[in-house]
Structure formats: structure tokens, C-alpha cells
Structure 1
Amino acid sequence: MIDLLNMLRYKSESTDIDFKSAQYRFNSGTEADKSELLKDILAIANSWRDGTGYILLGFKDQRPHPAEVVGIQDSIDDSRIQQFVNSKVKPKLTFRYEEHVYEEKTIGVIIIPKQKRPFYLASPYGKLKSNVVYVRRGSSTDEAEPVETIAMANEDRGRGDLRVELSLLTPGNEELPNSFAHTYLHFTEKFPDFEKPRKPRGPFDPPEFIGLDRDNNDFWREHGEYTRVNEACIAMRLVLTNRSSVQLSNSKLEVTVEALDSQAVHMIAGRDLPDEPKPTWNIANLASVQEVLAKKDVNLEVDESGPTPVCHIRLGFLLPGEQGRSELLAILPQAPGRLRLHLRILGGELATPIEEEHLIETTGEVLSLDFEGYKRFFLAERARCR
């Protein structure tokens, strides 16, 4: 939302954006006060625009400069506005109201997706007339002409409800299975430094050449972590498809994982999974600056700042029929058991998030290994894979 606000405040008032320096007088307002809220929502909903419309509260328009953030004092509950508006407006209008802290001030945002028009009041209310279509023209509100109202209906004919489809795929783009058999490794001691065996030097051997190769002292520790993660990892890619006839703007997915059998579980972005380490490293093989910078251009982030980690996947604008594909997401359970994935689909044209669940069951054994036990496990796995 912060990125969206940064963009919107640089726009001028138009058919899809309206700045209000103060909150609507809704909580203790008269019918005339509340009708101002109704009129502005109706005008944006009926306006001629290509995408989502916004009413920004706590912003002072100061064209040609960016809108000034002045903040609002009163808070309004979204459910109260929803009940009020949809008790007056015909047909049912899809919108939502949110409040955020932006530049250390509380601001409000009314988000109105593009949808079938026209909208009107069934009965007069406050300053508003019944059966009149209010529409936004530029930065002002007006009553639509009958011909214009007919044109609205003709333009939106065939515009259906927004339909999206979410798929969970393996890294190989196959449907993600519901069950996995894994081995879960727990280490009972800290692994020692790696020491490469060295041949004894004879009196006639040339002196050692000091080159770019260096022993990787952390090899065993890195390899243990690599194997632990690789053995337990459930890697997936999420694909969102817009199956509707209108675009979906600012599309986003949210993923949380619930362990149903009290086992510990983590989420990791696929790009952060450990690579298989080597006993030696060479400075010439270190990641280039370009590779490091490329990792910053991502659409998937795992936020662990709250009580429950949340994976945020931003897919942006999706045209009708277009797919948005996430980077790889890794789920890492620490023991066998059942996992429930909670998935939320958000978008500018969705009044409320679409929620889905996906159940996964993992089986397998838990091994507690000391260093010698891990080396035996490592050698056995290497022999099995040959």
C-alpha cells in the first residue's frame, strides 16, 4: 500500500482519484454530512476510467505539486461504511475502506474497483436524489445525462465478476502433491572445522604455491545445513491466473503455514536456500556484483517480524488471461506431520481477499546424528545416488 500511496499522491485529481484533506463526518454526522460520502463514492464508481478508483483521506491537493499529507483525526470502521452504502445504493457496490499510517500520519483510502455500472440511490438521502446517476468528470461531480447512463450500461455489458485461479506447482511445473516422504535431521553437536588431508612433503618437493584456492573451514557445518534443508524441503511455485474479462491490478498473494501436529516449520525464499558447499573455495568463483544485485529484483519476501511468519508475493497487474508466477517458496518442516497452507489472494478489483487452504502431509523418520553419524549418513546417501 505504501508504494501505491507514493504513486497516487503525485497524480492530479481526475475521474479515478479524489483527495480529501479531512475525514468524512460519518460517526456523528447528519444525513447531509453522510450524503457527501455517498456522493463521492457513487461519482468514482460511475466514472469513465480504465482501472481502480481511489478516494484518499488526509491528503491536501496542491497541484501541480504532490498532494500534502495532513492526516485524519477520526477513524471509521469499514464494516459500518459497507453496511451504510449498500443499504442505500443499487445495485450492490464493491469497495473497501482502509486506514494506514503514512509519513507518521493516519490516512484513509476508499478503494473502488471498476465494475458494472450505473449505480444510484433507490430513495433520496440527504442532499442526493433517488434514481440519479452521479458521475465524476475530471475533478468535479455531476449528474449524468440519460444518454450517458445508457452508454455506461452498454460499455459494461458482459463484464462479469472477477475470476482468478491459483495453482501450486513443483519446481518442475507439475501439480504439487499432497504428501511427501522425507528424512528429518537433527544434529546433537557442533561440527568441527574441515581439514583437508595433506601429503607429507619430501626434501626434494618444490615449495608450496600460494594461489587463490583456500580450504573451506566451514565445509562440514555448511554441508550439514545443506543436507538438513535439502532432505526436508517442500519447494513450490505459486501461479495466479486471471480468468476474467477485466484486468486485475496490484495483485498479491499471502501465504502462512499452520503445523497441525505441533511440529516446527519455517518458510524460506527459494533464492535463500543454501547451495551445496565445496571443501575449497576460490576467490575467482565468488558471486559477481551483477548476481548479487539480481537477487534484489524479487517478488517474494518472507516476513518474520510478527507472531506468525507471512510470505508476501507481489504479482502486479494481470491482464485478462495472463498468469503471474512467483519465485520458489520453500516450506521446511522439522518433523513429519500435517501442514495447512492458508492462502489469500488480494487485488485492486477485489473488495475482499479470496481465501483458500491447501493440506499437506509429510511422513518419514527423524534422525539425531553426531558428527560421525552424519558422515556415515552422507556417505550412504552419496553411494545410493550413484
Structure 2
Amino acid sequence: MLSEALLEELRFKGEGSDLDYKAERYRFAQASDDDKSEMLKDILAFANAYREAPAYILLGFKENAPHPAEVTGLPPDGAIDDSRVQQFVNSKLNAKLEFRYEEGLLGDRHIAVISIPKQRRPFYLTRDYGKLTRDTVYVRRGSSTGIASPDEIARMGTIRGVVKTVLDFQTPDNDPLPNAFERRFINFPARLPSLERDRNVFLTTTFLVNADYYREGAVYHSSWNRVFQARLLLTNQSEFSLGDAHLEVVVRCPEGETASMLRADEMPDVPSSTYFPLANAHLEHAGQAVTIDDRGKMPVAHVALGTIRPGQTVRAEEDIAILPSGPGVYSIQVRILANEIPTPLLAEHQLEVTGPLVSVSEQEFFLSWNSFPDDED
């Protein structure tokens, strides 16, 4: 059954090529062929309609423009079984039509929903049935149903079918990304001193002392001990190309925890006590296909994949480094977008991160400076 949020959203839409309200349930059980053909005609018309999103027939609703549709409800008795409707519809058509019939509750009202995804068309009857005639393409235009013209039918043949994709989550070694990681969460002192120049050591003007050496070291050890990296691969299993394919990646965290994201090639390097001054030390990478936007409440990784041909697998330009703040169950959630995908597809990989929380004092930091464990797996 559709979510209550989506049903509420649909109530505010008017009837059209992707939505219809029915105050009563279709006559189906022990109904005449003429009565049953009413349901069949509506399903066919929506399946053949020109639209960008799934179509819905909401039963137990009454249009109440300009206000939201009224939820009138259906009698609990007389519910229709999806499997019977599937067999009834598809036994009469030229091709298999994907749809779903569901009955359930919205609040305390019994309702029913017919969901019809966008798919390859046209659909038509192979023999006369009830009020419907064979080889006739019924189509929904706005809030009315008619018979498609030859030109309309010809254009239907060019409409692309169902989008099918597979998103794989892998490690940098191209193995499946595990569902569990063990990491160390090291908490260093909030303030560490600057590295000062040793007066007994002569340094040419070519090299300068890196005053942030200890602070960079704390970031380096903290980051590499808690990080895990995800490699994303998208396979197009559709019968057509996906243009301007794009992934949006976020990490949902357990309560009280956070997670930052970086490109894997932007993880901190081993710090050096000296550095060579550059004219521009903050060069931006131009034309990156993987970027991290951390200006919102949670960071979002944007992954541009370009055009993906049928059967082709495209790997993200760079792996994503995810740095959880502490143990817990995290979820990598991905929205898949493309020119041919009217509503973003969703993929998710859940994992549990375990490991100790380690607090390091300033004295311990300097005593153990050269012995902090590094975890770069």
C-alpha cells in the first residue's frame, strides 16, 4: 500500500493523465462482463497515457476541488484480491501489463489503490470483451478516456520502457562492501601546541617549519582509524541509455552520532614537520565527477556518471570516504537520477560500526606520537 504521506499528497492533485478518484469499488466478483470491462478500460487507458510518473486510481475517494479529495471509504466487505485482477487483466492483453491492486486503511477508512508504473506500450485487447473491442488502444487524456489515433499509437512505440538499474556497493579492493566494520575512535586533546623551529637545526629558506604538524597528526590518526571507503558502481539493465546519470549519497546516523564524507583521494596525508611554500596552496580540483557538499545539515556526495548505455556498468570516478563519529548502525542511502528516470530510484546499504572509544591526553599524545595505529583498510 502507498504510504500515508503519498496518499495525502495525491489528495491535493486534480484528476488527470496520472490520477483518478473513484468513490466506489469496481464491480468485480460475480459481475457481468460489461461491468468488469469498466475496470479493464481504466487500467488500459492509464497504462497507455502520456505521463512522466506512475498513475494511480484511488478508490474510496471523491474529488472535492479546489479542496483535497474527500476520503469517503469503501465497505470492508467485497474486497478484491490482487492476484485475481492480475489474471483477469493480463489474460486479455497483447503484452504483460505491470500494475498492482491493493486494499488497506487510511486512518479508519477502508480504501483501495491501483498503481500503474510507466512502461512500454501500447496495450490493447486481443479479443472483444464486455464493452471493449479488440485491437483498440484506449488512452487517458487529462481527466477523460478516449481511443488513440494512429499517430498517437505510432508515438507510443517510441516511448521507452521500465528503467532497471543495479547499484553495487564495493570496497576499494572491488569486494562487496561488508555490513560490519570494526574501527577505533580516538579523541585527541582539543588544543595541541604548535611545532617550533629547533634553533640547533639550520633550515634554508626553501623549507619552512610546519607549525600545524601536531594538529595535522591528530587529524591524520583520528581519520584513518575510523574511516571506511565505499566504491559505487551503477549498472543499466534497461533497454535504453540513461542520460546524465547522477547519484546523491547521504549517510543516516544513529542518534547522537554524525558522519563526515570526503573523496577518498582527499583523506589526510602523513604530516611533515616542514613544508615547501607554494604560490597557491589551495588548488581546487577542476572538473571533478565526485564532489561533497557539506553546507547543509548533513553532507551530500554528488556523483556524476554521464551516459550509461544498456548493459553497461559505470564506476564512480573516486571512492567515497565515510568517517563515523562513533559506534552504531549507519545507513548509506543513494538516490539514482537520470533524464529517463521521472522519480529518483533509491538504494541503501546498512552497516554496523563497532570499536572502542579512546581518549588521549596531551601527555599521552607526545609519549605515543610515533606509535598510534593506522587503519587504512
Q: Distance in 2 between matches of 1:124 and 1:382?
A: 65
Q: Which residue of 1 aligns with 2:89?
A: none
Q: Which residue of 2 aligns with 1:369?
A: 360
Q: Distance in 2 between matches of 1:275 and 1:227?
A: 10
Q: Distance in 1 between matches of 2:232 and 2:151?
A: 43
CA offsets 1:226-258 (integer angstroms, 9 cap, x no match): 111111111112111112221011212122211
Q: Distance in 1 between matches of 2:50 and 2:374?
A: 64
TM-score (normalizing by structure 2): 0.60
Show structure 2 runs of 5+ residues with no match: 1-11, 22-41, 55-116, 124-135
Specify whether residues 274 and 83 from structure 1 end up closer, same or farther in structure 2 by C-alpha distance, changes over 3 A only: same
Q: Which residue of 1 aligns with 2:312?
A: 322
Q: Distance in 2 between matches of 1:115 and 1:346?
A: 17
- Residues 109-120 of structure 1 aligned to structure 2 (within 5 Å): 116-118=120-122
- Residues 14-29 of structure 1 aligned to structure 2 (within 5 Å): none
Q: Distance in 2 between matches of 1:370 and 1:114?
A: 60
CA offsets 1:87-128 (integer angstroms, 9 cap, x no match): 74443655149xxxxxxxxxxxxxxx9963448972786899
Greater Cα offset, 251-260 or 121-130: 121-130
CA offsets 1:195-217 (integer angstroms, 9 cap, x no match): 354538xxxxxxx5733011111
1:301 equivalent to 2:237? Answer no
Offset of residue 270 of structure 1: 2.7
CA offsets 1:278-329 (integer angstroms, 9 cap, x no match): 1111237x8899xx35x12112223333334322222121111222222221
Offset of residue 225 of structure 1: 0.8
Q: Which residue of 1 aligns with 2:48?
A: 91
The count of corresponding residues between Structure 1 and Structure 2 is 269
Matched position secondary structure for 1:378: coil
Offset of residue 338 of structure 1: 1.1
CA RMSD in angstroms comes to: 3.8
Q: Per residue, is there more helix in 1 or in 2?
A: 1
Q: Distance in 1 between matches of 2:207 and 2:168?
A: 45
Offset of residue 222 of structure 1: 0.8
Q: Distance in 2 between matches of 1:166 and 1:127?
A: 37
Q: Distance in 2 between matches of 1:129 and 1:384?
A: 63
TM-score (normalizing by structure 1): 0.59
- Residues 182-331 of structure 1 aligned to structure 2 (within 5 Å): 182-199=183-200, 210-283=204-277, 292=283, 295-326=285-316, 327-331=318-322
Specify whether residues 257 and 199 from structure 1 end up closer, same or farther in structure 2 by C-alpha distance, changes over 3 A only: same
Offset of residue 377 of structure 1: 3.8
Show structure 1 runs of 5+ residues with no match: 1-75, 98-112, 134-142, 201-207
- Counterpart of 1:195 in structure 2: which amino acid? E
1:132 equivalent to 2:148? Answer yes
- Counterpart of 2:212 in structure 1: which amino acid? D
- Counterpart of 1:334 in structure 2: which amino acid? S
